[in-house]
Structure 1
């Protein structure tokens, strides 16, 4: 099999070809958020927005380009650091500096959570759920990655595996679309690539040593992932692209994309790839970079192009896109606002 075939990404085909895009601010959706926000999440139906608000979680209805406040839930004992919605059940999962994970009911009028997982002795830095298996949660903290599965016989969550291979804090996790590959990175100058075995045991298949450690990485497809290095908690000049080369049986660095935000103070914020519009959302310094990926038939390679950069003038910045890729939702310390921008296509 030719290597070029493996390089071809599993990108979603688009019926309409367009030249470019821009996300424009919707003023009427701006919401004041003075409390510290370290996490945002929107559900699969794009109608419920969860906002980490210091120790609490605020819930909003997202409808007709309006945000309607639902309620605030107060159960964590420290800052909320991660928020994730399950894809099918719409349950919200929250992680915190209090070392716990809470799984909430999908009835967003209720303040009750279903389950509490006391998972680490240190706070939760990052968390991912399986792409289609709702019964798996993976979380990262100091040197440790923990895997939790829901045991249907016992009707409880069980910590089935712990990987302690990193030498310091783990800041980034990413799981691929098929749910059988996992990436991790932290401030020990290493990237781990793990694979799930038939018995649901995860094994480290490759360790990549990098010159500059990073707090952000994410899959673009099964063969390709993006890694954003940082320079001693400052933004870096480029986003690095790694590709799986079958003849080597390994991922290697194949490209780098120049991004905005270098030499600006930086903090954790994982890259997110949205297959609906093939856009990668990546933070660097004070800046959110929006990168469009296409497959070049002439060069037979995956190509990324920086299309839009938004400078928020502060390192304390978090952002997500809606599941359909139509809206960019952010919070930053400078404005202390939840801001929502809508995708505008340029033909």
Structure 2
């Protein structure tokens, strides 16, 4: 900083001094020329005057005593020029002083500019350091994401390897619960800690923890048989549908206790099937009154829309993973494809398919493929969407075991994405079907119960298969095991 200031002072002083010397030289030279020219002019004038004087004397001798004018004795113009030069020099000195102040001001401004430049450079350096730190953080995040991706890929490979292994569900006898009364519906919560069972018109709540099953509560709001039970995924609330045509939302209070939050009335006959979306703000219900109702949560649950395209009882409902398409089946031998149109919340029937036999159950495998189970058939049909016309058509059948069926639709199909397993109740059997990597669906295990009065559910992770059947009159729990 001091070197810069010294250089600036010296440079400015030299330039100013040279400039003023040149100006002073030019001024003195100009004034010398001026008073020389003036003297010459005046002398010429007085020469003329003297000439006139001589002529006047000749005419008037009395004027001879007048003195003759001689300008060479006077240096008036030179004095005037010197006085003017003195004044100009004084002005120049004042201007020099002014220039000195301007120079000082310029130097100060230069110093300030330099200081500002230093500050700006420091800020830029700080920003650069911050960017370097941010870049390091982003690089670290990318490395962490890559690590997670590698772990996920490894997990996927492991999962794929696991899926290639044979499996079966083996009964855990110490978990069995003897219940002589009918259990038409069963459900287990997301963390496999609570089990609910519809026993006639009551709902039994069991604590399911570390190999111990313990009944903790009985709920008695329904007036007739409980036919459907569904736990919500995000909360511990659950839904129940009944022969009394009502739907109840059960709210978790605390200490494994539930209470009725709201009763939904709208159907005029028994509730056969219920689904709830993953956001827990939409319930879809199917009934023997031939209708499908869409209920939305606006501080309380309200019926938003009713689809009445079935001409007989609605037996099965399923919602796709994208949450914008519903498939239904019923006693009228019709499959409906219902979609939500764009941003509009309205649901519309976009396809109606006629089938040979009435259907009990439907289940999405992915957004563009679902399975369909018909009564007393030894196969399950697969329907896939055409990518061009966006319509579903039957593409194949999967062989399963069934036996006689009494027309019971109350045990819905489930697809367990984590294990790629489709659970399907058919007649007297539970069929466990694995989806292979190539998309092929093959039956891995068929469990025979000796009765078609068979009801149950599988846990969301596929670890537990929970059933009640009329032959054993037990709630039985089976666990997934690879062979």
Query: Which of 227, 234, 240 does residue 88 from structure 1 map onto?
Result: 234
User: Mapping of 1:1-347 within 5 angstroms?
Assistant: 13=156, 15-16=158-159, 17=161, 18-107=164-253, 109-110=256-257, 112-130=259-277, 132-141=278-287, 142-151=289-298, 155-197=299-341, 198-230=343-375, 235-268=376-409, 269-296=411-438, 302-346=439-483
What's the CA shift for 1:66?
2.4
Question: What is the distance in 1 between the residues matched to 2:407 and 2:472?
Answer: 17
Q: Answer yes or no: is the 8 Å Cα contact 1:266–1:286 preserved in 2.
A: no
Moved more, 173-182 or 58-67: 58-67
Look up the SS of the partner of 2:174 in the other structure: helix
Q: Residues 139-192 of structure 1, C-alpha deviation per residue, up to 9 Å, x if partnerless?
A: 0112100110011xxx22111100101010000000011211101000101000
Unpaired segments ≥5 residues, structure 2: 1-154
Shift of 1:326: 0.6
Q: CA deviation at 1:309?
A: 0.4
What CA distance in whole angstroms lies between the structure 2 residues aligned with 1:112 and 1:245?
Answer: 46
Shift of 1:111: 5.2
Comparing both chains, which one has the higher relative contact order based on Cα–Cα distances under 8 Å and sequence gaps of 6 or more? 1
Give, in whole Å, the separation in 2 of the partners of 1:111 and 1:244. 41
Structure 2 residue matching 1:39: 3-state secondary structure = strand
Query: How far did residue 13 of structure 1 move?
Result: 4.2
CA contact (8 A) 1:41 1:49 kept: yes
Q: 1:95–1:101: 8 Å Cα contact kept in structure 2?
A: yes
Partner of 1:6: none
Q: Which has the higher strand share?
A: 1
How many correspondences in the alignment? 322
Report the alpha carbon displacement of residue 38 of structure 1 after superposing the two structures with TM: 1.1
Higher share of residues assigned helix: 2
Segments of 5+ residues of structure 1 without an aligned counterpart are 1-11, 297-301
- Tell me the CA shift for residue 15 of structure 1: 1.7
Relative to the length of structure 1, the TM-score reads 0.90
Which secondary structure state, in structure 1, belongs to the residue aligned with residue 394 of structure 2?
A: strand
Distance 2:458 2:257 in 1: 26
Whole-angstrom CA distance in 1 between matches of 2:325 and 2:216: 36
Hey, what's the Cα distance between the residues in 2 that align with 1:147 and 1:38? 24
In the alignment, is the contact (CA less than 8 A) between 2:252 and 2:258 conserved in 1?
no
The offset of 1:305, in angstroms, is 0.5
What do you get for the CA RMSD once the two structures are aligned?
Answer: 1.4
Structure 1 pair 55–169 and aligned structure 2 pair: CA distance change class (3 A): same
Partner of 1:4: none
Query: How far does residue 45 in structure 1 lie from its aligned partner after superposition?
Result: 1.2
SS at match of 2:158: coil
Tell me the distance in 2 between the aligned counterparts of 1:23 and 1:331. Answer: 15
TM-score of the superposition, structure 2-length normalised? Answer: 0.65
Deviation digits for residues 14-63 of structure 1 (CA, Å, limit 9, x no counterpart): 52414210100000000011111111111111111110011000011111
How far residue 119 of structure 1 moved from its aligned partner, in angstroms, is 2.3
Runs of 4+ deviating beyond 4 Å: none
> Per-residue CA shift, 1:185-206, capped at 9, x if unaligned?
0010100011112221111111
SS in 1 for 2:264: strand
